[in-house]
Amino acid sequence: MIFRPCLVVPVYNPGPTLGRALDGLLACGHPLFVHDDGSDEATRLELEDAAAVHPDLRLSRWPENRGKGAAVVEGFRRAQAEGFTHALQVDADGQHDVGAIAAFLALGEARPEAVIAGVPVYDTSVPAARKYGRWFTHAWVWLETLSFDIGDSLCGFRLYPLEAMARILAHTALPARMDFDTAAIVRLHWAGVPVVNAPVRVVYPVDGVSHFHLIRDNLRLTRLHTLLVLGMLRRLPALAARRLRGNAPRDHQWTKIQERGTALGLRTAHLIFQLTGARGLRWLTEVLAAYFFLTGRAARQASGQYLDRLFRHAGPLPDLPTKPGIRARYRHIRTFALSYVDRFLAWMDASDAELVFPEEQAFQTLIHSGRGALFLSAHLGNLDMLRGLGASRGIPGLNAVIYSEHVIRFQELLGRINPGYTSNLIHVAEAGPETVLLLEERIARGESLFIVGDRPPASENGRTLDIPFLGREAAFPIGPLFLAHLLQCPVYLFFCVKKGGRYHIHMEPFADRVDLPRKRREAALRSWLGRYVQAVEARCRETPFQWFNFYDFWGEARSLPPPPPTAPTA
């Protein structure tokens, strides 16, 4: 599918923020459709001056105000008429971080059939009534869609697939004012359009102008939710059937599987922890694990695929002595849920887990040597325990390189409870030059970077290699090893797995530096990736229920010949 994006900005008397917002949007280099929704003379002149200077700014205007939703739809109509396939809606009030545009467009290119929905990450400037009042709408939207798929239904920073929107608008008159954003995303969800949630920083400028009318617009939202609930009731059989099918995505890329649960649920877990301690939290997690096991068809299937493949390739194993069935799948999902509890407790300084780290002295020596290093891990065990260990023992410079569209709510919650959690998180949307420069600076300061290498990120655009993993080829990203090549620093393998109630941290040298000669680059990448995948395989044999990739990891890859018999690994 062709991906041709643009920006759409509805404007109605935004005040002093307009100039700053336009400057930031125009600097992104994407075509900009601005629709003036009957603004005053000063705003009209400012927009006309900007359009005269910037050919990428397409300006249109209505003489009277018709509403934000109507202005957005007009921008969509004009953009599609010029051949654009996707439109990123951005408000003109300067609240949204334009730095997130690149990440949203990268997600949109990887998921052209989906709507990329902004989930606000607020700073201290947000009014409390605005922040917590949103939960009224969120609760209704969860009911109207029978899901938690929509992270935020009010955010005006959203990438729309224009063809899908045109189908909706052909038979539905969407609200013309502030209730447009909620109605649009619910209707798209009903139509089967996937929703990918992604974070965007939101600030409230001191000179910003808000046109949200407390009584009038809340009455509009109340009327909208009444209509949407009635619409949900008419669609109830189809929506319920979709949920019972597991709402599996049309393909199985991990970036298309949304984080389950809500921020409200995580806050409830924190409250239970405060009232009952770790034991009460673990009991709650047992209940939630059973719920997600029963309702998560896609996760059950992916777990069974992995465990069956592991058993056929390397079994019987000490922890997997017989062919895995439904009980093994439940144990796999339960282990994953309880790993989140351990991570939570580690950052609350309430963990009772013992740590076994035979290489800790070598690790401490490396950390304090002033020589930066890259630690390569996988979604196996509980890598976050190391950062918790570092925080409690005063070990500086332990940076986790993560993909910002994943586990947003868990990070936000722990960041509020313990600010140390987010202090060394480096959010990466794509491995571009700016990212490399940032990481090079960290290495030059003698810090350490921890990165996982067993999931292709959405923005890699196919930059993977098929490597044999548990008897069949699977796509592994080249990004982490290419990054190691660019950083020219020591690389270590690093895993943290739980055995008998204790976490065992394993560290071993991988390379003094990773070299990828230009003439033999693919062969070198295959060699390095093969070594990494063999190490992950060994850990899967050792702890079969602690590899946490609940999606179709192998896809349609070609099967390999059966491997020779192997002895069980202790």
* pLDDT tens string 386-403: 666 666 666 666 777 876
Residue for token pair 């991990």: 254
Cα-based distances in Å from 75 to 6, 43, 81: 10, 18, 10
Q: Which residue matches tokens 């949203």?
A: 104
Instruction: Give the β-pairing of 86-89 and 5-11.
Output: parallel
Under 8 Å between Cβ of 54 and 7: no
| 502-511 vs 354-356, strand pairing mode | parallel
Read off the pLDDT of residues 357-375 as tens digits, 9 standing for 90 and up: 898 889 888 888 888 999 9
Over residues 144-156, mean pLDDT:
86
Query: Given pLDDT bands bounded at 50, 70 and 90, which one contains residue 262?
Result: very low
Residue of 491 and 171 predicted with greater confidence? 491
Query: Which residue is listed with tokens 């009455």?
Result: 219
CA distances from 502 to 189, 299, 355 (A): 43, 26, 6
Please tell me the distance from the alpha carbon of residue 311 to that of residue 541, in angstroms, as a whole number.
Answer: 9
29 burial class (0-12, 13-18, 19+ CB within 10 angstroms)? exposed
The answer to which of 296-300, 331-335, 469-473 has the lowest mean pLDDT is 296-300
3-state DSSP of 214-271: HHHHHHHHHHHHHHHHHHHHHCHHHHHHHHHCCCCCCCCCHHHCCCCCCHHHHHHHHH
Q: How far apart are CA 343 and CA 269, in angstroms?
A: 13
> Which contacts (CB < 8 Å, 24+ apart) does range 234-238 have?
235/190, 236/146
Task: Tell me what pLDDT residue 128 has.
Answer: 58
List phi, psi (to 5°) of 556. -100, 25
| d(C-alpha 277, C-alpha 345), whole Å | 10
Bridge pairing between strands 472-477 and 158-161 = unpaired
pLDDT grade for 130, boundaries at 50, 70 and 90: low
Model pLDDT for residues 226-254, shown as the tens digit of each residue: 888 898 888 888 887 776 665 444 333 43
Position 259 pLDDT exceeds 80: no
Q: Of 364, 369, 359, nearest to 489 (Cα)? A: 369
Type of residue found at 159: L
Distance between CA atoms of residues 341 and 282, nearest Å: 7
Q: Alpha-carbon distance 360 to 368, whole Å? A: 12
> What is the reported pLDDT for 431?
52
Q: Is the pLDDT of residue 569 over 50?
A: no
Positive or negative: CA dihedral 472, 404, 419, 139: negative
pLDDT higher than 80, residue 165: yes
List the structure tokens of 92. Answer: 């003109």
Structure confidence by residue, pLDDT tens digits, 192-205: 999 988 888 888 76
Phi-psi category of residue 8: left, alpha or beta, with phi > 0 → left and psi -120 to 50 → alpha = beta
Residue 409 has pLDDT above 80, yes or no: no
Give the mean model confidence (pLDDT) for residues 410-427: 63
pLDDT grade, residue 156 (50/70/90)?
Answer: confident
| Exposed/middle/buried for residue 546 (C-beta within 10 Å: 0-12, 13-18, 19+) | buried
> Which distant-in-sequence residues (6+ apart) come within 8 Å of 453 by Cβ?
376, 377, 378, 476, 477, 479, 480, 481, 532
Q: What is the largest CA-CA distance in the chain?
A: 80
Q: pLDDT over 70 for what percent of the chain? A: 78
Residue 145 has pLDDT above 80, yes or no: yes
Contact (Cβ atoms closer than 8 angstroms) between residue 497 and residue 517: no
Coil, strand, or helix at residue 199?
strand
Q: What's the rounded mean pLDDT across residues 439-443?
A: 88
Q: In 493-520, where does DSSP find H-type helix? A: none
Question: 316 vs 140, which has greater pLDDT?
Answer: 316
Cα distances (Å, whole numbers) of residue 185 to 84, 106, 155, 158, 182: 20, 20, 10, 10, 6
Is pLDDT above 70 for 412?
no
Cα separation, 238 vs 189, in Å, equals 12
Say what the pLDDT of residue 565 is: 41
What local confidence, expressed as pLDDT, does residue 273 receive? 76
**Core vs surface per residue 180-189: b (16+ CB within 10 A) or e:** bbbbbbbbbb
Instruction: Using a cut of 0.85, tell me whether the model's pTM lies above it.
Output: no
Is the Cβ–Cβ distance between 195 and 118 less than 8 Å? no
Place of tokens 């020219």: 488
Provide the CA 48 distance to its chain's centre, in angstroms. 38
Name the average pLDDT for the chain: 81
Cα distance between residue 377 and residue 453, in whole Å: 6
pLDDT at 217: 65
Residue 547: predicted pLDDT: 95
515 — phi, psi (to 5°)?
-105, 135
Rg (CA), the chain: 25
Asked if residue 292 lies in contact with residue 299, where contact means CB atoms within 8 angstroms, the answer is yes
Alpha carbons 244 and 242: distance in angstroms, whole number: 5
pLDDT band per the 50, 70, 90 thresholds, residue 134 = low
Domains and CATH numbers, the chain: 5-244 (3.90.550.10), 354-543 (no CATH)
Residue closest to 499 by CA, chosen among 342, 347, 376? 342
Model confidence at 281, in pLDDT bands (50, 70, 90)?
confident
